[in-house]
Amino acid sequence: MKFIFCVLIQILVMSQFAFGQKAVGSYFHHIEVGITSGRLNNSPRLDYTLQSLHGIQLDAHNKLGFFVGLDSYPKQVLMPLGFGWRNTLSPNRRNSLSFGLDIGYGSSWLDRKELEGNFEKWNEGGFMVSPIIGIARKSKNGALAYTWNLGFKKQFASTFEGVRGTGVGGVDGIRPGYDSIFEERYVFNSLILRWGILF
């Protein structure tokens, strides 16, 4: 136990020293904010997105980490969780083209189930994937970089509204326990534009 604790402390300390050096194995943090747009019901849709990616530098070009975020959609706010990969095309230049891929699960953990008598309403999240392309510009001292990313995000989600039945047996063809249920399943296809800081 002591050994594991010492190793973890060592990794943490080394990663702090490695911030500015971009050494292999160093820790990085990429925080982004942006907007997402799509078309729904034949109308344009505009929402916000926040994301925080934490990970390690795999080599001169590649980074891999775990992200957590906040994505708004009509009727719900999802909290995406997953793995993110970033590739910097020209790591030695001040301005470089970059690519990335985020894969994870958009959780509806933030939305609470609504209950009012026999009426229930809840949301469910789903799988998400998001490839991005953008520009990374290092600061003068090289300690951090500013990023502008354009990307695509596919997010699966659903909402449910049910009226619970009482005193009667269930029948085939409807979710057990409900007299009526309204469910909407979505695949949100969004164009995303994010501005961020990488350090």
Site for another protein in 37-96 (CB under 8 A): 37-48, 60-62, 72, 74-75, 87, 89-93
Q: Does 164 bind another protein (CB under 8 A)?
A: yes
Q: Does 170 bind another protein (CB under 8 A)?
A: yes
Which residues fall within 8 angstroms of residue 33, CB to CB, at 6 or more apart? 48, 49, 50, 51, 194, 195, 196
Q: Residue 91 has what DSSP assignment?
A: T
Cβ nearer to another protein, comparing 4 with 169: 169
Measured from the CB of residue 66, what is the shortest distance to another protein in angstroms? 20
Q: Residue 106 has what DSSP assignment?
A: E
DSSP string, 15-84: HHHTTTTT-TT-EEEEEEEEEEEEEETTEEEEEEEEEEEEEEE-SSSEEEEEEEEEEEETTEEEEEEEEE
Cβ nearer to another protein, comparing 7 with 115: 115
Cβ nearer to another protein, comparing 26 with 155: 155
Half-sphere CA count of 43, side-chain side, radius 13 A: 4
Measured from the CB of residue 127, what is the shortest distance to another protein in angstroms? 14
Site for another protein in 29-48 (CB under 8 A): 37-48
Measured from the CB of residue 99, what is the shortest distance to another protein in angstroms? 6
Helix H or strand E segment including 4: helix 2-17
| CA distance from start to end of the chain | 31
Q: Does 167 bind another protein (CB under 8 A)?
A: yes
Q: Which residues bind another protein (CB under 8 A)?
A: 37-48, 60-62, 72, 74-75, 87, 89-93, 99, 101, 118, 131, 133, 151-152, 154, 164-191
